[in-house]
Amino acid sequence: MKRPDLALILATALTQTLGWGTLFTPFALVVQPMEADLGWSRALLNGAFTLGLLVAGALAIPVGRHVDREGGKLPLVGGPLLGAAGLVMWSTATHPAVFYLAWVVIGCAHATALWTPAMAVVVALAREPMRAITLITFLTGFTGTIFIPLNAALVGALGWRDALLVLAALECVAAAVAWWQFSAAPARVATPLPGGGLRAALRRPAFWGLALCFAGHAFIGTAMGAHLVPLLRELDLPEASVILLAALHGPFQVAARIGLFLLGTRASTQVVGVISTWLLPLGLLWLALAPAEFTALLPFVLFWAMADGLLTIVRSAGTAEILGREGYGAVTGALTLVSVGPRVAAPILVALIWEAQGGYGAVPWLLAAIGVLAALAFLYAVMSKEAAS
């Protein structure tokens, strides 16, 4: 791999690892200490997190347009500083209004510092974008492995308020790394051509195929993230088996990305996308039909994790391959915006199904059906692209 790509990859992987580890991971670990300290309800606390996701989604297109026109320096340097400010504000919260305002700021940081603008820069500057994105996702795949125990240790040792201040300092490190990354890189990413970019993409069937696919994947991902552990516990598995099955998602995901990286240019993003989108409903159907035993459920985790790991790459590199690089930031911002609603609604909808039916029995079937629709939508996007070329 060429040296400029390596510097871009390492800097992006570090800023993304720090960003996700400080701006996304801590919430689940701070909720219960905040409940005990402030007496606030879990619904009130989760409302702020939801607000942050909505703010991030609303800003996705304007931030993407800025990256297309002016480059990624401002969002990728300023975003972590916004995140640090939001974490400091969160650490001082004694009233819900301050807490919610902190999450508005953190939502702005999500939109400017995390993934979509960073991938727009990689797609524009990397000599081999797919390999670069694959390696970045491999490195960032260890974010939870690093930051879940780190955040838990910080909260346990310092309390949740001081723990958030430490995380704010780490976000300042991310800003410094981003500043270094752009110090010798072009400030501008691309110059949009008249009539191109987002407006042209919105008129293409392939865009809407990708939008439906990624929205379905977002729904499944957040539903599983919120409900996997209680779903497995409902099967009366031993607690050690439940935790191990959930924990294996990360290593299996990284293994799939390593395999894709080793294939290099021999792997077409579109073919990888078709395979991974069908692996997702296959894994969910396996969950619905398999006996409630650890070994019988391993293929479910394997298929789900492989699909999840590969689709993260397809969402970035595949969009460029199918829709082109012109206006990439705004186009991927629009795809992110389409996924916000499903991402926010999924945990609530699955919880309502659980309450109505007294269990999770119907949930794997529902998610598998959504997975099939997402796979068909991706296939439609690929076929529409080929028909147009």
CATH class as words, domain 3-183: mainly alpha
Residue with the bigger pLDDT between 22 and 133: it is 22
- Structure tokens belonging to residue 95: 């009233």
Measured between alpha carbons, how far is 19 from 80 in angstroms, rounded to an integer?
A: 7
Closest among 43, 3, 15, 60 to 340, alpha carbons compared: 60
Query: Once rounded to an integer, what is the mean pLDDT over residues 179-197?
Result: 60
Residue 389 binned pLDDT confidence (cut-offs 50, 70, 90): low
Measured between alpha carbons, how far is 327 from 324 in angstroms, rounded to an integer?
A: 8
Highest mean pLDDT: which range of 180-184, 304-308, 349-353, 364-368: 364-368
pLDDT of residue 312: 86
Q: What is the pLDDT of residues 99-127, one digit of tens each?
A: 999 999 999 999 999 988 999 888 888 88
Closest among 151, 115, 119, 122 to 21, alpha carbons compared: 151
Residue 316 binned pLDDT confidence (cut-offs 50, 70, 90): confident
Q: Percent of the chain having pLDDT more than 90?
A: 52
pLDDT of residue 191: 47
pLDDT of residue 327: 84
| pTM strictly above 0.75 | yes
pLDDT of residue 193: 42
Question: CATH second-level architecture of 198-388?
Answer: Up-down Bundle (1.20)
pLDDT of residue 217: 95
Helix (H) or strand (E) holding 83: helix 73-91
- Structure tokens belonging to residue 3: 């040296």
Measured between alpha carbons, how far is 61 from 158 in angstroms, rounded to an integer?
A: 38
Q: Percent of the chain having pLDDT more than 70?
A: 94
Centroid of chain to Cα 319: 15
pLDDT of residue 263: 80
pLDDT of residue 218: 93
Distance in Å from the first CA to the final CA of the chain: 30
DSSP 185-201: S-S----PPTT-THHHH
Q: Is pLDDT above 70 for 135?
A: yes
Measured between alpha carbons, how far is 7 from 335 in angstroms, rounded to an integer?
A: 28
pLDDT of residue 364: 97
Locate CATH 1.20.1250.20 in the chain. 3-183, 198-388
Q: Is pLDDT above 80 for 266?
A: no
Helix (H) or strand (E) holding 377: helix 363-388
pLDDT of residue 116: 87
Longest dimension (CA), the chain: 60
3-state secondary structure of 218: helix
Query: Once rounded to an integer, what is the mean pLDDT over residues 279-285?
Result: 97
- The CA–CA distances, whole Å, from 296 to 118, 284, 287, 288 equal 39, 13, 9, 11
Query: How much is the mean pLDDT over the chain?
Result: 88
pLDDT of residue 195: 40
- The CA–CA distances, whole Å, from 91 to 98, 144, 150 equal 10, 22, 17
pLDDT of residue 357: 92
pLDDT of residue 210: 96
pLDDT of residue 1: 46
Q: Is pLDDT above 60 for 162?
A: yes
